[in-house]
Amino acid sequence: MKKILFLLLFLPLLVSAQNTAFKKKSEQIDQYLGKLMKDWNIPGLALVIVEKDKVIYSKGFGYRDLENQLPVTESTLFPIASNTKLFTATLATLLAAEGKLSLDVPVKQYLPELNFNNPELNFKVTLRDMLSHRTGLPAYDGIWLNAPFKRKDLVHKVYFMKPSLGFREGYIYNNNMYTIAGIAMEEITGKSWEQNIRERIFEPLGMSSSGFTGIGPTPQNHSLSYFESEEGGKLKARTFLAQSESLAPAGNIYSNMLDMSKWLSLQINGGKYKGNQVISAAAIEETKIPNAISDKRGRYDELSNSIYALGRILQSYKGTKMISHTGSIDGFYSNMTYLPKDSIALFIVHNSMSAGSLRSVMNLPIIDILQNRELTDWSGRYRKDYLEAQERNKKAVDEINASKVKNTYPSHPANAYTGKFIHPVYGEIQIGLTDNNLHVQYRSLNATLHHWHYDQFITMDDGKGFPDMRINFLTNDKGEIDKILTRPFGDPATEFIRVK
């Protein structure tokens, strides 16, 4: 009886001490995030931390809309970008656990119309290969970026993607393969990827605010993202949208801290949420199985080499096992991290393009604080890298400008450059003429072409965040303009053939 009485008396003191200890940690996290935002000129940021089945921290900082001074809160919606991949991978492992598909048979069994450039891949590539980035296919991000075509059109474009590594020879991050995996699951279930995610994950978890970019109107409390303009580094809202329907299974979910806390809780508790087994424990564990070494070299002593599982990266940080993934799209950058031994998970997101490189390390000082360790200045390290990269980029631009041959002229009259130019993977480029000025229309870009030298033209920063394009017009044996050579969104140089 005395022991019970002692425990009853001591328990409130213990809880109070724990609350006081975390209050100090919470204040440290606030300070860290405040400094991070100041050092990197980040307009808005949000963080949620879950321990076991409880939200222990959930806050927004700064602004989701600078012009109208609208603050970031825990209900502000952000794209989670490639953190979408764990949802897609979980759907695959869930369907596998239910016997509706296999992760380890050729995906062509589910998509007969899928054909790779290399016949070997037709007989070998599985969903597991696609979901762990080990097909040997390069990224080809210019295919989905800002793309106007339907998702299933991607299936026929895969044939034109040439491998740069042998099958399972190495790791190459590939968003397109996640989309193909999503299409395969659509065929298997008879439902869209979005419908599967909503019915199997969002609704059971009560993630009522989460949705999919491009499906319905943009919610009013969705954050804007910002980039630093060339005029004095002033922050400007980005209006160019890279996301498209063809990206969806790889990166189109948006969410907020309230909803993401439920997803984090499910990860910590083996697929359970509020006592209900939403996702089978076996399906959750399958996403944690290592499949491909994603970082063979390693750069910092504090971090081990990383291994890609399914929509997750396995790594250790200062001896602590860490399961994480990052996301980046349209000026939004996020990090989702799970510490299995501590039963703690966090999700952090911000809306600044210039601070994009932070996405892989902005979680680490928070882990240091939670584990009562000395903070490593990851922000300082990456800021130094960023400034050095800025200098290199400036020199590269200066070198490009110096390479311009002065006093040259186009070889043809302006109207000879107009027409439609197509590529079976990247689509259509339209060159038009207005008031004797050439202009280019490619996907959502509609911009004036400025003469560079000879038959090369460029677009210039439109202040909206659309990447600049450099277009080189090529001629046939008769001297007629018949091709365009350009790099669609940074992909390898590609020829577009004139059709009219």
Specify whether the CB–CB gap between 461 and 468 falls below 8 A: yes
Give the three-class secondary structure for 244.
Answer: coil
Cα 367 to Cα 378: distance, rounded to the nearest angstrom: 12
Amino acid at 412: H
Instruction: Residue 244: name the closest of 160, 175, 172 by CA.
Output: 175
Per DSSP (E only), the strands in 29-106 are: 44-51, 54-65, 70-71, 78-79
End-to-end CA distance of the chain: 93
Token couple for 77: 């919606």
Specify whether the CB–CB gap between 429 and 442 falls below 8 A: yes
Q: What is the pTM of this model?
A: 0.92
pLDDT at residue 461, rounded to an integer? 67
* Buried-state track 124-138, b at ≥16 Cβ within 10 A, e below 16: bbbbbbbbbbbbbbb
pLDDT at residue 351, rounded to an integer? 98
Cα 485 to Cα 147: distance, rounded to the nearest angstrom: 19
β-bridge mates for residue 434, sequence order: 437
CA atoms within 13 A on the CB side of 86: 27
Specify whether the CB–CB gap between 140 and 491 falls below 8 A: yes
Cα 444 to Cα 148: distance, rounded to the nearest angstrom: 8
Cα 7 to Cα 15: distance, rounded to the nearest angstrom: 12
Instruction: Residue 214: name the closest of 336, 56, 362, 329 by CA.
Output: 329
Q: Which residues fall within 8 angstroms of residue 55, CB to CB, at 6 or more apart?
A: 48, 49, 261
pLDDT at residue 49, rounded to an integer? 98
Instruction: Please list the pLDDT of the chain residue by residue as tens digits (500 residues).
Output: 555 544 555 545 444 445 677 899 999 999 999 999 999 999 999 999 999 999 999 999 999 999 999 999 999 999 999 999 999 999 999 999 999 999 999 999 999 999 999 999 999 999 999 999 999 999 999 999 888 889 999 999 999 999 999 999 999 999 999 999 999 999 999 999 999 999 999 999 999 999 999 888 889 999 999 998 876 678 999 888 888 888 999 999 999 999 999 999 999 999 999 999 999 999 999 999 999 999 988 889 999 999 999 999 999 999 999 999 999 999 999 999 999 999 999 999 999 999 999 999 999 999 999 999 999 999 999 999 999 988 898 888 888 888 899 999 999 999 999 999 999 999 999 999 998 899 999 998 889 999 999 999 999 865 566 678 899 999 999 999 999 999 998 899 999 999 97
Q: What is the DSSP string of 227-267?
A: EE-TTTT-EEE-------GGGHHHH-EEE-HHHHHHHHHHH
Task: Give the gyration radius of the chain's Cα atoms.
Answer: 25
CA distances for 115 relative to 125, 270, 324, angstroms: 11, 37, 32
pLDDT at residue 363, rounded to an integer? 98
Token couple for 232: 């004095």
Task: Please report the sign of the dihedral spanned by the C-alpha atoms of residue 391, residue 393, residue 395, residue 401.
Answer: negative
Element (H, E) at 397: helix 378-402
Cα 42 to Cα 198: distance, rounded to the nearest angstrom: 31
pLDDT at residue 14, rounded to an integer? 41
Cα 463 to Cα 486: distance, rounded to the nearest angstrom: 21
Residue 351, Cβ neighbours under 10 Å: how many? 30
